[in-house]
């Protein structure tokens, strides 16, 4: 059988799902794209057995349907090297050889029987929630950076989806910092929680079009989550762990309030981090009246620096220490020109908030303090 497809359109769709192809596997067939051709539609599938992806593409096909596993690297390389044009794929249904015909040449590659490709699960019959694609993209972008990379703490290696009648809450933490993003407009009738691995969410983020305003359906059960749009399906195995009670680490009483320019604070942290200890990245905040002194010292090299920034501070005199690297990443994710920091005592977490919340959402970022050196 054969089918005709535009080279640029095919290259784009392959790029959307290529991230789920492992570089090496004990099961060599999953190092391929699975092409499932039938009734003028091409369904392209990839999997690494933890995450699976599918995209659909309209084609002009002739002949009966067929499934063929296509070597990923060579087909992507040839598509990158070809100009925009129609291509004809001819597939030998006996030995799964593939011939690609362009305006100027023919290229032959060896495929495999697609029937041997691991089946992709279906979301049929599962509970689901419908989320506008830009909202999911925003949740991933604003929350996921705080997830842990420590494989010994599996529960923290992803983002918590906490869904209920009162809305959706997305949480990530690495035990040093925590981000909670709330959307009261996203509700489900039956409350549920599940943890999506960060690798899966990065695949989704890299595969979605930021200009796509259509809704995405998220289907879920105890084992898997399915992220489904009109053209893309992403299936991932959920993290089978209990997420820590994150609400317990968020201080409820924080009488010491700081308002400060995001850019002023970020610039100072970058400069202080140059002088901070390279292991702890410790910076000291000395808060008084309407100014904050930010300082750092590396005793091993006799390096030290300090700066004083103007701010609006209402609270007691306080010295508190933070990891500059972690705090810079949090401050960078504040979207307003000024930010708000809420603190209680030097040994309890500090809360970072935008000066004003966007309509329909609530954003909270938390950073744990570090014990100050006596300098």
CATH 3.30.590.10 is right for the domain spanning 2-116: no
Q: What percent of the chain has pLDDT over 70?
A: 99
pLDDT tens, residue by residue, 148-189: 999 899 999 999 999 999 999 999 999 999 999 999 999 998
Give the mean pLDDT of the chain. 95
Separation between Cα atoms, residue 360 and residue 302, nearest integer Å: 49
**Domain boundary assignment for the chain:** 2-116, 127-248, 251-367
Separation between Cα atoms, residue 235 and residue 120, nearest integer Å: 8
> Do the Cβ atoms of 298 and 277 come closer than 8 Å?
yes
Give the CATH number of domain 127-248.
3.10.150.10
pLDDT tens, residue by residue, 198-248: 999 999 999 987 667 789 999 999 999 999 998 899 999 999 999 999 999
Look at residue 374 in the predicted model and tell me its pLDDT: 63
- Which has the minimum average pLDDT: 55-69, 105-119, 340-354? 55-69
Q: What value does the mean pLDDT take over residues 40-54?
A: 96
Look at residue 347 in the predicted model and tell me its pLDDT: 93
Q: Do domains 127-248 and 251-367 have the same CATH topology?
A: yes
- The CATH topology of domain 251-367 is DNA Polymerase III; Chain A, domain 2 (3.10.150)
Q: What is the pTM of this model?
A: 0.92
- Please identify which residue in the block is written with the tokens 């691991």: 118
Closest to 170 measured CA to CA, from 136, 199, 206, 213: 136
Of the chain, the end-to-end C-alpha distance in Å amounts to 77
């Amino acid at each position: 059988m054969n089918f005709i497809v535009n080279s640029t359109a095919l290259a784009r769709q392959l790029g959307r799902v290529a991230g789920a192809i492992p570089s090496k596997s004990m099961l060599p067939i999953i190092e391929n794209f699975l092409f499932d051709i039938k009734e003028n539609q091409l369904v392209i599938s990839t999997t690494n057995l933890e995450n699976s992806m599918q995209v659909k593409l309209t084609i002009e096909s002739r002949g009966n349907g067929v499934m063929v596993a296509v070597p990923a690297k060579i087909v992507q390389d040839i598509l990158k090297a070809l100009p925009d044009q129609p291509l004809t794929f001819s597939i030998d249904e006996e030995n799964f050889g593939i011939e690609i015909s362009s305006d100027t040449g023919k290229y032959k590659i060896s495929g495999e029987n697609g029937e041997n490709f691991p089946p992709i699960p279906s979301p049929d019959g599962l509970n689901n929630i419908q989320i506008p694609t830009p909202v999911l993209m925003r949740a991933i972008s604003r929350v996921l950076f705080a997830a842990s990379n420590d494989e010994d703490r599996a529960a923290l290696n992803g983002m918590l989806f906490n869904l209920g009648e009162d809305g959706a809450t997305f949480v990530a933490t690495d035990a040093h910092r925590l981000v909670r993003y709330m959307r009261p407009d996203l509700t489900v009738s039956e409350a549920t929680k599940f943890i999506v691995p960060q690798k899966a969410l990065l695949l989704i983020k890299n595969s979605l079009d930021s200009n796509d305003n259509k809704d995405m359906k998220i289907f879920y059960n105890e084992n898997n989550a399915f992220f489904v749009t009109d053209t893309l399906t992403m299936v991932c195995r959920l993290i089978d762990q209990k997420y820590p009670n994150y609400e317990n680490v968020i201080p409820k009483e924080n009488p010491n309030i700081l308002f400060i320019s995001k850019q002023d604070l970020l610039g100072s942290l970058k400069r202080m981090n140059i002088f901070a200890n390279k292991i702890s990245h410790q910076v000291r905040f000395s808060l008084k009246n309407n100014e904050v002194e930010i300082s750092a010292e590396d005793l091993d090299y006799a390096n030290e620096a300090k700066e004083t920034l103007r701010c609006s501070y209402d609270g007691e005199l306080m010295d508190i220490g933070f990891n500059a690297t972690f705090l810079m990443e949090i401050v960078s994710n504040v979207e307003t020109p000024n930010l708000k920091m809420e603190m209680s005592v030097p040994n309890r977490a500090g809360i970072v908030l935008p000066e004003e919340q966007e309509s329909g959402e609530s954003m909270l970022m938390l950073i744990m303090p570090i014990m100050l050196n006596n300098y």
